[in-house]
Amino acid sequence: MPKRKILMKGNEAYGEAAVRAGCRFYFGYPITPQTEVAEYLSRRLPEVGGVFLQAESETASVNMLYGAAAAGARVMTSTSGLGLALMQEGISYLAGAELPAVIVNTMRGGPGIGNIAPAQADYRQAVKGGGNGDYRTIVLAPTSVPEIFPVMELAFDLADRYRNPVIVLSDGMIGQMMEPVEIEEELPPLDLPEKPWATTGTMGRRPKNVIKTDYLEPEELERHNLRLAEKYAQIEAEEQRWKEFALEDAELVLVAFGTMARLAQAAAEVLRSRGIAAGVLAPITLYPFPTRRIRELADSPGVRSFLTVEMSLGQLVEDVRLAVEGRKPVSFFGRTGGIVPTLDEIVTAAEDVAAERGVRSR
């Protein structure tokens, strides 16, 4: 199929990628710096027979996802950190009812109202979950505008495969930047999975499908939660994804996601030009976290130390330390409040860690 290259803003790419992944229902509430997602889909979805609906709040949006997902539709919403906080109750409901939905969170500075500058301080809120109960949410993190397309396709596929909500964790930098993307001239044909569990009406041909989150008997709820736990274990075993740069001989491993992964790679190139063998691991799945690969690196005799680089006061670093299990030292560098670390700051921090941990200059 013929392709064309166009310049596209990240927030617009989230909308177009969702349409190409088969999403036909969007429910959302505007909040900077992600409002362009809704703006784009308000024009685009009617063109493909879809439905765009601006809800009265984030709480309403996530509960509209619940209803449309229960009817078997591919559905999504988008928001920023404050809105994601308001959606947490609904996300718990989606997970408990095993309903597939995609939620794009374009992170901004916090806590509270904070500001509209880029940040990554919603890591815990997305990865650990802010709702009640024993549940997990799959979390994906693109590093560029072009990467939004395969990540969104993966998000919808994983949501359907595991009947689970998926959060795509973006930041204000990726949402607002423009980059060239190459897309097919026409929409690809849709080959979406059957959803025999959906509440689409029985016409007297089968027993009713029931979707619920209330299990009043403790033994019944425990069986439900244990079955969910088995599903999460399968996700952790089969869906860990990441990108690597120059790790084959790295002594210092930089770990970063989203915008910071790109800066970390640029920093690794500078460090290598100065004789420091640095490499980068960029998680694509923040849950399931790429523990397996990080543990392999921690067990490698050549790797001397890890350094996480974040736009927060240190949230990703907690999962890196859990994965490393004390085998190697793990350091942290980050800026907060909507400040994006500069390349020079990251290189200086990495050189300090390299000197402290005995990383050899070549």
Which residue range is the domain that position 329 belongs to? 242-357
pLDDT (0 to 100) of residue 2: 86
Residue 166 belongs to domain with CATH number: 3.40.50.970
Length of the chain: 362
Residue 310 belongs to domain with CATH number: 3.40.50.920
pLDDT (0 to 100) of residue 87: 97
- On whether both 188 and 300 belong to a single domain, the answer is no
Q: Please name the amino acid found at residue 60.
A: A
Asked if residues 325 and 294 have their Cβ atoms less than 8 Å apart, the reply is: no
pLDDT (0 to 100) of residue 215: 96
Q: Select from 209, 239, 269 the last residue of a domain.
A: 239
Pick from 242, 254, 219: nearest CA to 331: 254
Residue 362, domain member (yes or no): no
- On whether both 221 and 288 belong to a single domain, the answer is no
Collapsing DSSP states into helix, strand and coil, what is residue 179?
Answer: strand
pLDDT (0 to 100) of residue 236: 98
Q: What is the pLDDT of residues 142-186, one digit of tens each?
A: 999 999 999 999 999 999 999 999 999 999 999 999 999 999 988
Asked if residues 29 and 57 have their Cβ atoms less than 8 Å apart, the reply is: yes
User: How many Å apart are CA 109 and CA 102, to the nearest integer?
Assistant: 22
Q: What is the pLDDT of residues 287-305, one digit of tens each?
A: 999 999 999 999 999 999 9
- On whether both 250 and 335 belong to a single domain, the answer is yes
Beta strands in the chain (DSSP E): 3-9, 25-28, 51-54, 75-79, 101-107, 138-140, 165-171, 178-184, 242-245, 252-255, 278-283, 285-287, 305-310, 330-334
Number of domains in the chain: 2
Residue 119 has pLDDT above 80, yes or no: yes
- On whether both 69 and 152 belong to a single domain, the answer is yes
Residue 16, domain member (yes or no): yes
Residue 362 has pLDDT above 70, yes or no: no
pTM, two decimal places: 0.96
